[in-house]
């Protein structure tokens, strides 16, 4: 077994201590309003990166730059950054009025008390179709903000409902990076992994919807939610929503939204043609912090992996679990720890895949089950960590529209990720794992401990 170095995980510890510590100090110790929101997260990540650069004196600084460059140049990171930029341009193009028009149309078609539930369901369908939680959040969060402002529902509840729906699709979509990474890494068919995942995700989604409806029906709406809206302004959002539902590539969807939005705002005279490019640039600039976090996290992750930090983490988890059920939980905690460290569920799955294959052979766990556990637990943790791309994108979208909200205001309303964790644990410990077709015989063999039982 390759030996790792626990000390290599120090940069992650430094980040967590500084970010959480300063946030608690500002918010509760000093009584600063929006204390967590006032913490410059990019600076905290830069400090963590500096700590990583001072580690491992056997490597020169130039060598470390090469390692960081490889991490930043990963396809997943590049794709994520491009989505950030395209989404920022889209928001800058269509502006706030379009999102408000969408909200008022929704509220005029359905009873106001069901609008938050609609946000969750729409986010589920869009994320399944598009295969990206980040793309879904960037597209639907402005609508959630407008719904909150128009109806009086809590903004954290509206945003959390969008995030929960986005993680539902991230976990189940056939074209999601996490699905592709888990299935390819474990050598199973996507349809088999989908069946395994769906029976876990559906109960969590149904209970989430029930909770949202219960909260919605018990909420006193602040006055009337009726408002005039311009149907023409709905076109960009309708294009991206329909495009997402039918499965068009997220970049194509955003491009169509940008082009249609540009034509409409200029034709209406809402924005002068000479100001349109400036608005696009402002929207893209609004994604600066989120983009820099993605870059810095990928650089830190690359160094930690090179120093042996992740190997130590993997070895520690593997040594803790002996039985088959414990092995499944160990896989979940493994990919969860990777996600906490990298803030990227796809990267977490890719890094966890090799040791998960070994664990599957040791514990007699099927390939489809292994792929399902990796994808599901990565989505659980990615859906709730305060510094993940999904959370940061949601907060950035709110900020761009003039509304301030923090991760720690949103987290208590993230019902779906927490219920997905509960559902996963039920299926691991209480519901027998049935053999599936297409699994190798060795994938289902019991461990020595279970044979003795």
**Residue ranges of domains in the chain:** 6-57+64-429
> Which conformational region is residue 247 in: left (phi greater than 0), alpha (psi within -120 to 50 degrees), or beta?
left
Residue 76 to residue 426: CA distance in whole angstroms = 32
Q: What is the pLDDT of residue 52?
A: 93
* Helical axes 288-307 vs 10-24, angle rounded to 10°: 140
pLDDT for 203 equals 95
Residue 234 backbone phi and psi in degrees, to 5: -80, -20
Residue 438: predicted pLDDT: 41
Q: How far apart are CA 138 and CA 143, in angstroms?
A: 10
The pLDDT assigned to 106 comes to 66
pLDDT < 70 positions in the chain:
1-2, 27, 33-37, 95-104, 106-107, 129, 175, 220-230, 241, 244-245, 247, 432-453
Q: CA distances (Å), 195 to each of 82, 192, 277, in order?
A: 31, 5, 46
The owner of tokens 């149904």 is 206
The pLDDT score that the predictor gives to residue 451 is 39
Nearest-Å Rg of the Cα atoms of the chain is 22
Q: What is the pTM of this model?
A: 0.71
pLDDT at 68: 93
pLDDT tens figures, 341-386: 777 788 788 778 877 887 888 788 889 999 999 999 999 999 998 8
Dihedral sign from CA coordinates of 336, 445, 322, 429 = positive
CA distance 74 to 63: 17
Identify the pLDDT of residue 30. 81
């Amino acid at each position: 077994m390759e030996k790792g170095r626990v000390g290599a995980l120090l940069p992650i510890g430094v980040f967590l201590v500084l970010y959480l510590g300063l946030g608690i100090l500002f918010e509760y110790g000093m009584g600063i309003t929006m204390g967590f929101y006032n913490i410059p997260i990019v600076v905290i990540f830069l400090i963590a990166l500096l700590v990583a650069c001072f580690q491992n004196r056997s490597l020169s600084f130039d060598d470390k730059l090469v390692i960081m460059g490889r991490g930043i140049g990963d396809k997943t990171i590049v794709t994520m950054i491009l989505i950030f930029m395209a989404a920022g341009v889209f928001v800058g193009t269509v502006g706030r009025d379009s999102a408000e028009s969408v909200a008022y149309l929704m509220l005029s078609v359905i009873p106001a008390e069901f609008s938050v539930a609609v946000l969750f369901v729409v986010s589920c369908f869009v994320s399944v179709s598009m295969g990206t939680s980040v793309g879904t959040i960037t597209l639907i969060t402005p609508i959630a903000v407008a719904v909150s402002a128009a109806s009086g529902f809590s903004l954290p509840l509206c945003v959390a409902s969008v995030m929960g729906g986005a993680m539902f699709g991230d976990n189940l979509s056939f074209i999601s990076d996490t699905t592709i990474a888990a299935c390819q890494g474990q050598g199973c068919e996507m349809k088999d992994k989908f069946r395994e995942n769906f029976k876990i995700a559906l109960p969590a989604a149904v209970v989430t919807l029930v909770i949202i409806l219960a909260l919605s029906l018990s909420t006193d709406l602040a006055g009337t939610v009726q408002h005039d809206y311009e149907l023409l302004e709905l076109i960009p959002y309708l294009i991206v929503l329909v495009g997402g539902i039918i499965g068009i590539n997220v970049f194509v969807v955003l491009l169509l939204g940008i082009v249609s939005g540009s034509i409409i705002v200029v034709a209406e005279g809402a924005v002068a043609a000479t100001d349109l490019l400036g608005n696009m640039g402002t929207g893209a600039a609004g994604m600066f912090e989120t983009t820099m976090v993605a870059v810095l996290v990928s650089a830190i992750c690359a160094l930690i992996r090179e120093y042996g930090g992740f190997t130590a983490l993997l070895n520690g988890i593997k040594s803790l679990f002996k039985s088959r059920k414990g092995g499944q939980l160990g896989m979940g905690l493994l990919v969860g720890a990777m996600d906490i460290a990298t803030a990227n569920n796809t990267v977490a799955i890719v890094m966890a895949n090799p040791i998960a294959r070994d664990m599957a052979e040791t514990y007699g766990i099927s390939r489809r089950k292994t792929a399902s556990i990796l994808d599901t637990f990565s989505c659980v943790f990615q859906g709730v960590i305060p510094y993940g791309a999904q959370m940061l994108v949601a907060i950035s979208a709110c900020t761009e529209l003039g509304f301030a909200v923090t991760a720690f205001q949103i987290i208590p309303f993230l019902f779906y990720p927490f219920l997905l964790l509960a559902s996963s644990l039920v299926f691991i410990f209480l519901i027998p794992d049935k053999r599936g077709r297409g699994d190798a015989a060795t994938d289902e063999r019991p461990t020595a401990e279970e044979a003795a039982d």
